[in-house]
Amino acid sequence: MTVGYLLDLFIINQVRKEKLREVIEQDVKTDLNKQDGHLIKEIGKMIIDIANGERPGFFAKHKNYDKNIAEIYDDNIIEVIYKLYGRHKELWDLEDIRRDKNNNDQTRLEAADRVSIVNKKRNDLVEMVDIIINRRLKDLKLWGSLTE
């Protein structure tokens, strides 16, 4: 479990609430909001644990994806989070196309193929979040030791 993974879950909830805005039942929305609160709390605790050296900030994913498909590395965490949000919205739309029996088989197959590509890029972004946070916390520790 990493900060990037928890943030990924948080973003999934945001996209779910946005895409289902017109049809979501209040009890489901309330539950998703409670999940959001729990995820935010866990992200905060995890960042503190990483900063204190009580847990690693990054775990290699060891995913066996096509090496030619990758999200371009960005060191700006806000941009990475925004891209992650965009990838989830894209996945949601592709899954809608893939599941829609009114679409022809070719359209559904193309959407399914695209899901794999977008999901790979989503995983890259989750990993980037972990790398950026881990580096920032290491920089903080270095900076702190230089000023003490």
pLDDT digits (tens, 9 = 90+) for 26-58: 999 999 999 999 999 999 999 999 988 888 887
pTM: 0.85
pLDDT at 148 over 70: no
Judge contact between 29 and 17, C-beta under 8 A: yes
pLDDT digits (tens, 9 = 90+) for 124-133: 999 999 999 9
Residues 47-71 have a mean pLDDT of 80
